[in-house]
Amino acid sequence: MAKKTKKIAVYPGSFDPPTDGHLNIIERGAKLFDEVVVAIAVNSSKKPLLTIQERLKTLKVLLKKHRNVRLDFFENKLLVHYAREKKATAILRGLRTVQDYEYEFQMALANKQLAPEIETVFMMTDSGLSHLSSSLVKEILSLGGSGKNLVPPLVEKIVHQKFKK
Ligand code: COA
């Protein structure tokens, strides 16, 4: 019998910081694919609060319970080239609101042109999480607000510490 090929998806993002919204997509993605590679990527248009190391350390703890989720980071390369290296056949992205659509549509089309064999798979973010973004979380936490229902307690602690410095 022919060996079944593993279905691998890359879930890329800045994760600065990771939120409940990201974790929701990862959890659901892990049920659809044999393996999900959560890849911290450097978005050159953003000035991050957390270093790559801090994001890796945090996500490592948060993703520990998922047996088919791997954690990684990449920079100075295209997402599709990275996905090919990982033998991924899909790029997983979350869609929150219609505002996401245009940006995601453009990125998906560009990636498709660059690597036609890789599909972008969109997942609607669960309704209670669709208002979330990493920037919103940073603003709320920087002004002393609570991270409850936005980020895991560990992320809240790390971001608070960062703002105290
Ligand atoms: N729940 C909550 N928030 C979510 C979310 C979800 N399910 N999905 C996305 N977001 C938020 C993020 O928190 C982030 O918020 P912020 O803008 O306040 O930081 C925002 O939506 C989108 O960010 P993210 O998903 O992290 O992606 P990005 O736009 O920062 O980066 C890359 C996109 C990394 C995938 C893209 O820049 C890339 O591919 N880079 C590699 C180079 C490359 O190939 N470029 C060509 C691409 S065509």
Q: What pLDDT score was predicted for residue 124? A: 93
What pTM was estimated for this model as a whole? Answer: 0.94
Residue 19 in contact with ligand 1 by CB distance below 6 A: yes
DSSP string, the chain: -PPPPP-EEEEEE--SS--HHHHHHHHHHHHHSSEEEEEEE--TT---SS-HHHHHHHHHHHHTT-TTEEEEEE-SS-HHHHHHHTT-SEEEEEE-SHHHHHHHHHHHHHHHHH-TT-EEEEEEPPGGGTT--HHHHHHHHHTT---TTTS-HHHHHHHHHHHH-
Tens digits of residue pLDDT in 49-95: 999 999 999 999 999 999 999 999 999 999 999 999 999 999 999 99
Q: What pLDDT score was predicted for residue 155? A: 97
Best mutation site among 125, 133, 137, 155 for ligand 1 pocket (most ligand atoms within 8 Å of CB): 133
Q: What pLDDT score was predicted for residue 97? A: 85
Q: What pLDDT score was predicted for residue 46? A: 85
Catalytic residue selected from 55, 93, 96, 138: 96
Residue 17 in contact with ligand 1 by CB distance below 6 A: no
